[in-house]
A and B are shown apart, each in its own frame.
Chain A
């Protein structure tokens, strides 16, 4: 366990110093800060606009950070030959991969925590009358995004065991888009008995292989206070369990490929 944590810690230290990630983070933070100014441009209520815009910024920024951070983790180690020094020590490849993944998740967590902190601050300034319960409700969305991004990082880590960073960027981005925009559609088709059997099978396969990223978005329940989840806690727990299961599948798959890979 020490080996994995050491690799994770080093990965965090390096990730939070990567300029490209810091620039993406800075752009995200900038949008969060100017969000109150932009909300006056919309005809909808300023609360609705502020919440949907800021959460959208956090989701998009986190997704870009998660992909850019993870696609380069393994290739960089090979290119700089640090992987040779590490793997010549009593370190299993799966430990190395898991350490890198946990490091990526840790760095992602730190960056998302910063954005969430700024979100809460902006909100407290703009909605001074809002109580702590409103703020806590608002903070649930970034927490679910964090689970979502941890899953996205596992997808990128899986692809990085056999694809180049550029290919991985588009593969992971593609999986994220499909899983965010089309997963509910595939889910509906897969559960619809009136459609053609082949189409249904194809939809089921895609729905199973591609994680449903859309279900981590709990923005609607925050914006529309009228729409309540039947059992909110259970829903969140299910989502976390769903993410852990997929993360495990992607990481184990990645470990199996990486174990045979000639670096």
Chain B
């Protein structure tokens, strides 16, 4: 298999006042080249720690981590990857162009035109000559994306790339990420924006408390959807005919609402409804959503603590949690 990222039994343990605590436990991660990979988990699940290990910023306690065929942190692989951190900060006295040129210099690139082209590519327009301190969050994120493209990377690590952006910036950056894949790059996204992940990722991994819960292609992980059939004028005795373990039926005043697994064909039920004089109002296939899978994966602990809510963008808490553990 052609892997951009591979970890085997990767573990990271910290010494805390209450003893040793594993932030990442026996993590086996496989990210194929050329795909958009979503790395999900509730706050404090170990996502940032894993990314830091993959970037060589911290070392794993045990196990193996390889990035682009080399051990994580290898300086040669750093020439072929890039990283956009969550809530990036830039030296505020510099302009967008100066920041991009600074990061370019770290690769030994002196090409000003390349920097300008990249800033244009991320739609920063003529604002690149203004100081960063005057930039909106979306503009700063664009600068971040521009700097992440300087070395024409094979692999991009994007930590919450659309977090906190307005809808227009959100869509633009999401489209850019899709273009990165079209260009043959591998994109590793850590995000709480489940709708984005579901829309753009080929494969995902969900971790909880440092352990892998799910990993695979979205289509496979989200299989097992439901079909909802609604009909009017259905006689009472028809409901008994279709009762089953994996099906729910409700029949009131002639209105039937049936919820059946997508592995079961609705044709038999539709035919029976018509034969009995009823009329089918709607047949709606409901695909399992990533949010459902995510909630299933983390239910029982984080959900109960109220840490999984809505779009789960309480990033600050995530940082605090992980930093607490780190210290």
Interface positions of A (Cβ within 8 A of B): 2-3, 6, 10, 13-14, 17, 80-82, 84-92, 262-263
Contact = CB atoms under 8 A, between A and B. Distances in A.
Interface string B72-103: 00011011011111111111011000000011
B78 A90 contact: yes
A6 B105 contact: yes
Contact of B57 (A17, A80, A87): A87
B157 interface: yes
A84 B144 CA distance: 12
B83 A2 contact: no
Contacts of A263: 57-58
Nearest to A77: B89
B81 A85 contact: no
A84 B55 CA distance: 9
A88 B78 contact: yes
A253 to B, nearest CB: 20
B108 interface: yes
Nearest to A7: B106
B93 A14 contact: yes
Interface of B: 52, 55-59, 75-76, 78-79, 81-91, 93-94, 102-103, 105-108, 147, 151, 157, 326
B316 to A, nearest CB: 13
Contact of B91 (A2, A13, A88, A90): A13
A85 B108 contact: no
11 contacts: A10-B102, A13-B94, A14-B93, A81-B86, A81-B89, A82-B90, A85-B88, A85-B103, A91-B106, A262-B57, A262-B59
A81 B91 contact: no
A81 B57 contact: no
Contact of B93 (A6, A13, A262): A13
A89 B93 contact: no
Contacts of B83: 84-85, 88
B296 to A, nearest CB: 32
A92 B58 CA distance: 13
Contacts of A92: 75
A3 B94 contact: no
Contacts of A6: 102, 105-106
B91 A10 contact: yes
Contacts of A89: 78, 82, 103, 106-107, 151
Contacts of A91: 78, 106
B87 A81 contact: yes
Contacts of B88: 81-82, 85
B55 A82 contact: no
Given A2-B108, A80-B89, A88 B147 contact: no
A86 B56 CA distance: 12
A137 B248 CA distance: 96
A261 to B, nearest CB: 9
A82 B87 CA distance: 10
Contacts of A13: 91, 93-94
Given A84-B55, A89-B78, A17 B93 contact: yes
Given A6-B105, A17-B93, A89-B103, A84 B79 contact: no
Nearest to A17: B93
Contacts of B89: 80-82
B197 to A, nearest CB: 22
Interface centre among A13, A81, A84, A87 (most CB of B within 10 A): A84
Contacts of B85: 81, 84-85
Contacts of A10: 91, 94, 102
A86 B106 contact: yes
A88 B93 CA distance: 22
A148 B82 CA distance: 40
A84 B102 CA distance: 15
A85 B75 contact: no
Nearest to A99: B106
B14 to A, nearest CB: 9
Nearest to A86: B106
B277 to A, nearest CB: 67
